[in-house]
A and B are shown apart, each in its own frame.
Chain A
Amino acid sequence: MGNSPTTARRPKKARLMQGNLAIAEGALAAGLGFFASYPITPANEIAIFLSRALPKRGAIFIQMEDEIASLAAVIGASVGGLKAATATSGPGFSLMQEHIGYAAAVEIPCVIIDVQRAGPSTGRPGSPAQGDVMQARWGTHGDHPIIVLCPGSVQEAYELTIHAFNLSEQYRTPVILLADEVLARMWERVELPLAQVEVLGRLHPEVPPEWYFPYDDALGDVPPLVPFGQGYRYHLTGLFHDKSGFPTERLDEIDTWQQRLFGKIEGKVEQIARIEEEEMEDAEIAIIAYGSTARSARHAMKLAREENRAVGLLRLVTLWPFHDKAIERVASSVKRIIVAEMNRGQILLEVERVAKGRADVVGVNRADGAMVTPAQIMAALEVEG
């Protein structure tokens, strides 16, 4: 990353930027029209920046009375047709869970930025963690699909934020950008494209208002959501609903809705889920990592390569939906998989599930608010499988 030459055709501007600011800049580039949040460390810089930047663009910044209200306002703004987002950290992310479930079930595009800090509870507010991985997947009650992205550099924080908005519109779903304290508060060289980046807008139905149903699978896997106020009258509720949006108890209608709801994301894992492989061609040991931990993993891999050891890196850019096929390929081609993460083994469980014993799976974990070090990962290379 960051090695692509600057050309006249695609001019870029190199800048030193903080991760949180890159997220905020990415949101602006994606067309953010509404941002509501509540103060919390270590995500504050996003709100502080946007409180200045959004009004200048005629867009809206609101500081809410808590995180529950923040995501509710974001959902409301999205139904109103604006690209909407909130940013928080663990304790606030916990408070948002009910609304994440609502947004998933009612299919409201929105972006939730969670800058992970060590937890549970207040934890270590100024220290990094990756303990919200399973909460991002399963934190709200009930089965639901979700998309979760995890940037590994400040540059990627910018790009993935734009991608998060695009995915949320494309699949009409909440998308969670799972950053961490180190990634969000470090400063790094970035190259922002000066030309317009690819930005997806809200899908619009081709049918007139009287034919429109917000959950009609005749309109496709992802029926367009027409903003309120444009003449399309419809009903939104968190109750199980039929194609019109009205509550239903009919199992056939619930089945139709659920097939589409899960299918639109879980049936498209190959299109949605991104991974990045480095030095995997001849690898006998694969390190799987994501977020800032992937940087320690990359360093460990380089140290191992200097010792002529066949070690490769598989970095998860998309955490959910989980890229089973990519992990299956790795598990079939290496002897050992090391899963490094700043938690007590959350993605480790997924890798073990997919590997099914084809490779030896070892976790390198810590949840004390300190980063996983390259030395810790190197030590795991020595473990006899």
Chain B
Amino acid sequence: MAINLKEMSKEQDLIAPGHRLCAGCAETIVVRQVLHAVGSPVVVASPTGCLEVASTPYPYTSWRVPWIHNAFENVSSTLAGIETMYRSLVKQGKIEDKGIKFVAFAGDGATYDIGLQFLSGAIERGHKFLYVCLNNEGYMNTGIQRSSATPMGTWTTTSPVGAVIPGKRENRKDVTAIIAAHDIPYVAQAAPHAWRDLMTKAQKAIAADGPSFINVLIPCQRGWRFPPEETIVLSKLAADTCIWPLYEVVDGEWKLNYRPSPKKPIIDWLQSQGRFQHLLTPQNEHVVDALQQEVDRQWSRLLERCKAPS
């Protein structure tokens, strides 16, 4: 099932324009691409977050598909209920099997923090849905607070920068690997600049026989402090510095999808955004070094897992 842009351009977007996401936000770019790859009929669920708030300001909606928001923590459980209901009714012969697909779009707060146990439970039970994490590395909807997806050294409103503390002190958690450890059929990391890679992954994910998960980096101009026209540039820079590698785990097999040449230093990434400006001073050089070491360590581990030459 190749990605055919010409054919896709004739299809209707399943999320309509006129939503209230910020200029330069990558969320609807990714939602459009994923839903084109998944296709109709599809049911979408979103937890509390930027996408939920900005795609459904009363009395409007941008969703051209059945859509449900429940609360912050429970999109996986809500979708699990819908998916199970559908499977059960089909099995009982009460409704026709139309091949309905189920997709969750959730932020990193809802995925990494408050909703992690719900997601873990749902994929352990094997519900057949695609869960897309729109990861902008913070609670941007409530005012740029840190999340456990926020990288070490980052300024946020609750990991403030002062004379002593240089922003967030903890490394982010690797949720993609945590989900992969559940041994579900399909797990991937993607980014909006690599649109063909992202859409191919969405196709593979929705075709998988069981739960699937794609973690997509979402450059956020408000929270990361960069000009809104640079969203896609930053997306590519994240892959080129290896702070956001593109890979997939298919039935337990790790596969690298993109190898930058040359691999750019993390300082390029830090210089591109206001949230890291405090790190560009001599006193915080050690933080930059620690970040580079962490990126290198994780990159080496990923190459090992992917059995790629180091």
Give Cα A61–Cα B146 distance, bound, in whole angstroms. Answer: 12
Query: For this complex, into which size category does the number of interface residues on chain A fall?
Result: 10 to 19
**Main SS of chain B's interface residues?**
loop
Q: In the bound complex, do residue B160 and residue A40 qualify as a contact, i.e. CB atoms below 8 Å apart? A: no
Task: Tell me if A131 is interfacial: C-beta within 8 Å of chain B.
Answer: no
Q: How far is the CB of B54 from the nearest CB of chain A, in Å?
A: 13
Q: Choose the segment among A48-56, A190-198, A243-251 that binds chain B (4+ C-beta atoms closer than 8 Å).
A: A48-56
Residues of B within 8 A of A56 (CB): 162
Q: In the bound complex, do residue A38 and residue B114 qualify as a contact, i.e. CB atoms below 8 Å apart? A: yes
Give Cα A295–Cα B113 distance, bound, in whole angstroms. Answer: 39
Q: In the bound complex, do residue A44 and residue B71 qualify as a contact, i.e. CB atoms below 8 Å apart? A: no
Within 8 A of B (CB), among A272-324: none
Task: Tell me if B200 is interfacial: C-beta within 8 Å of chain A.
Answer: no
Residues of B within 8 A of A19 (CB): none
Task: Tell me if A4 is interfacial: C-beta within 8 Å of chain B.
Answer: no
* B 149-179 binary contact with A (CB < 8 Å = 1; else 0): 0000000011110101100000000000000
Task: Tell me if A65 is interfacial: C-beta within 8 Å of chain B.
Answer: yes
Residues of A within 8 A of B114 (CB): 38, 65-66
Q: In the bound complex, do residue A48 and residue B143 qualify as a contact, i.e. CB atoms below 8 Å apart? A: yes
Q: In the bound complex, do residue B72 and residue A91 qualify as a contact, i.e. CB atoms below 8 Å apart? A: yes
Task: Tell me if B69 is interfacial: C-beta within 8 Å of chain A.
Answer: yes
Q: In the bound complex, do residue A48 and residue B113 qualify as a contact, i.e. CB atoms below 8 Å apart? A: no
Task: Tell me if B240 is interfacial: C-beta within 8 Å of chain A.
Answer: no
Nearest residue, chain B, Cβ from A47: B158
User: With A65-B116, A66-B73, A66-B114 as given contacts, are A39 and B160 in contact (CB-CB < 8 Å)?
Assistant: no
Q: In the bound complex, do residue A122 and residue B145 qualify as a contact, i.e. CB atoms below 8 Å apart? A: no
Show 27 residue pairs from A and B whose CB-CB distance is below 8 angstroms, ordered by the A residue.
Answer: A38-B113, A39-B109, A39-B142, A39-B145, A39-B158, A40-B142, A44-B145, A48-B145, A48-B158, A51-B159, A51-B160, A52-B162, A55-B162, A55-B164, A56-B162, A63-B145, A63-B146, A65-B112, A65-B113, A65-B116, A65-B148, A66-B72, A66-B73, A66-B113, A91-B71, A91-B72, A122-B48
A residues with a Cβ closer than 8 A to B are 38-41, 44, 47-48, 51-52, 55-56, 61, 63, 65-66, 91, 95, 121-122
Q: A56-B162, A65-B114 are in contact. List 13 more A-B contacts (CB 8 A).
A: A38-B113, A39-B139, A39-B142, A39-B158, A44-B157, A55-B164, A65-B116, A66-B73, A66-B113, A91-B72, A95-B73, A122-B48, A122-B69
